[in-house]
Structure formats: structure tokens, C-alpha cells
Structure 1
Amino acid sequence: MIDDFAKQYLHDDLREAREAVLEKLAGLDEYSVRRPLTATGTNLLGLVKHLALWETRYLGEVFGRPFPEPLPRWDDIEARGRDFWATADETRAEIVDRYRRAAAHADATIAALPVDAPGHVPWWPRPDVLLFNVLVHVLTETNRHAGHADILREQLDGATSAPTRDRAFWAARYAEIERAAQQ
């Protein structure tokens, strides 16, 4: 009973986190979703591309349920980090669609397996895991990147998930925080 509840609870939260990430792309032009906004090049579309790849790994390969599309090998040193940005040839629609396909594949794995189903994550120090461990990990990572997306979107156009306030409120809040920091 608790196993089914835990699995459903984590799965529902994962679905919400996925949508939160995708919502950050809404209303932005191509340049804005691709634009590197940190020194390491982090951008909104790259976060979606990254999440798509790793959901296919964690909630696919790890449980012997490979994603039906080609993926770079997890141990390919040259490919590392390339999942964090979109090439000029990759469209937003392709990347978002891939994320949705990855999510559907992951959802099928979650639905098909019990929460204590064994898996193997060869890149982890303790590679033998359960679906529960991987669900917690993927949910944590998706929420982490949703937080990154929140900050990136705010940098782009000021849009936030915070309660609706006008620009004057946020300018005053910013000034208040700046004064506190300087003291």
C-alpha cells in the first residue's frame, strides 16, 4: 500500500516539475530560449534537452527498457555536456517533442514496474538501485533544473513564478535587499 502511494506521489510530482520546466519556454523567441545566460552557457532549451536525455537513461536504460531512439553513450567523454545546449540544427519543437517522448517512455517504465524493481546505474558508485531511488533522483534533478529555469527566465524578461506583483514592488524589494547586503 505505501509502495503504491510513494510511487504515485513521486510520479505526480515529476509530472508537475516537467511542466514547470516547459512553461519557462512559453512566449519566448528562439534566441531567448537558446541564449547562454551563465558563464557555463546554461540556457532554457539546453535544460530541456538535458532532462530529455537523462530521463531516457534513468527511467529507461537503467531498468533494461532502452529508449527506442539513438542516444549518445553515457560513457562517451566527448559527448559530455553537449546535452546542455541546442545545436543550430535542432529546433525547439524537436527538443520539446523529444522531452515529451522521453517523459512518456519514463512514465511507461514507472507504470510497468513496482517501486522496488531493481535497476543498475553503471555511472554511480553504488550502481545497484531500486526504482524508488531513481524516481527520487530524477525528481530531484528535474526540480533542480526547474529552479535554474526560473532564474534564467527571470533574467530574460522578469517573468517569475512568484505571486503576481508589479515592477514597482520588485524594484523596491530589490533595493531593500541591496541595502541589507551593503550593511
Structure 2
Amino acid sequence: MVDVSVKEYLHNELRRFREVMVHKLDGLGEYDIRRPLTSTGTNLLGLVKHLSLWESRYFGEVFDRPFGEPLPRWDDIEARGADMWATENEMRDEIVGRYRRVWAHSDATITTLDIDSPGYVPWWTRPEVKLCNILVHMLTETSRHAGHSDILREQLDGAIGTPADYAEQQRDSSFWKAHCARIEAAAISAATKFSTP
């Protein structure tokens, strides 16, 4: 059996990264939170929508504790990818509000169940899981998307960091210009030094 402190640690980390995801929307207009910022359409609000859908499944259906709001079927091929962006009719507050309701539902599942409680993930090739597996999976997924959102937000307005350290890490544009120039010079030098003829 896994120590109960592991569950608490994983749960606290998941909570922290959830807040980061929502914080990355702060201070941005509707266009910037929705617009595609990569060649595959990745966007800030879409990442929040995606995480709310999958977290509701992993801590809901997997443990026979379904989330109380309608969700698209996980095996609906036609709907694939629709969770990664917000339509013009979906409001920011609606998506963020759902994400927060999912948190409450997930937190109840995590708190109620033992770390080694069994679950079943029908879309995995090895569907028999424990709560510990799902906690690690959702923490990994959420932190991965928090990293994506860090880069997307930095592209939009240069904001970096998390709510706790945001104010301390801000530097002016001259600092970042000099920093990038130093990195660029190292890249050019390495390309010259290590390139094969």
C-alpha cells in the first residue's frame, strides 16, 4: 500500500497546477485567450476546456463517480479535438466555472477514496488502475499543459511565472533583449563549432 502522504502530496500539486492554468487567462481579452498560437491551434482557453473534460472523466467515470454535468462521449470520433478550443458561443466564465466545479468533484473523489482504490479506464490498453495511477496521470497532464500555457502567455504579453512568483520575476524588455542576444550568440557559436562538414 502507498503511504497516505503520497496522496496528499500529489493532490496538493494538482491543485497548484490547476490554479496556474486559470491564472494564465488573467488580464487577457477574449481574442487572446482563444486564438491559435501554434500551428496546431493550441490556445489558452482551449487548454482549460480540455483539462476540465478529462479531469472530470478520470476522477469521475473511472471510479464510477460520474461528474454531474453532461459530457461528450470519449469514444465519439466526430467530437475529437473539440475540447481543445472554445467556440464563439462558449463564455470564458462558463469554461472556467466548469473547471472549478470539476475540481470540487475530483477533490471529493480523491478525498473519499483510498490511494489504492481500484478504477477502470476503458480507453487505456491496460484499463485496471488505482487512484494513485490517476493522480499521477492527471498531475502530469495538468503540469504539461501548464508548461504550454506558460509559453503561450509569454508569447502574448511577456508575462511569466505563477501567481506566487509572478511579481518577483518580472524584468524589463532590455534585460530580456540582452538575455536572448546571449543565447543567440551561443547558438550560432555552437552551430559553427559542432556542425559536421
TM-score (norm 2): 0.91
Partner of 2:107: 107
Partner of 2:193: none
1:172 corresponds, among 178, 183, 187, to: 178
Partner of 1:33: 33
Query: Cα offset for 1:28?
Result: 0.3
**How many residue pairs end up in the alignment?**
183
Partner of 2:192: none
Partner of 1:153: 153
In the alignment, residue 79 of structure 1 is paired with which amino acid? A
Q: Given that residues 37 and 43 in structure 2 are in contact (C-alpha distance below 8 angstroms), is that contact kept between their aligned partners in structure 1?
A: yes
- Structure 1 stretches of 4+ with a deviation exceeding 3 A read none
- For the residues of structure 2 that align with 1:89 and 1:117, how far apart are their CA atoms? 39
Q: Given that residues 2 and 116 in structure 2 are in contact (C-alpha distance below 8 angstroms), is that contact kept between their aligned partners in structure 1?
A: no
Partner of 1:182: 188
| Matches for 1:14-163 after TM superposition, within 5 Å | 14-161=14-161, 163=169
Q: Percent identity?
A: 67
- Unaligned residue ranges in structure 1 (runs of 5+): none
Q: Residue 3 of structure 2: SS of its match in structure 1?
A: helix
In the alignment, residue 12 of structure 2 is paired with which amino acid? D
Q: Which of structures 1 and 2 has the bigger CA Rg?
A: 2
Partner of 1:7: 7
- For the residues of structure 1 that align with 2:79 and 2:3, how far apart are their CA atoms? 37
- Unaligned residue ranges in structure 2 (runs of 5+): 190-197
Q: Residue 51 of structure 1: SS of its match in structure 2?
A: helix
TM-score (norm 1): 0.97
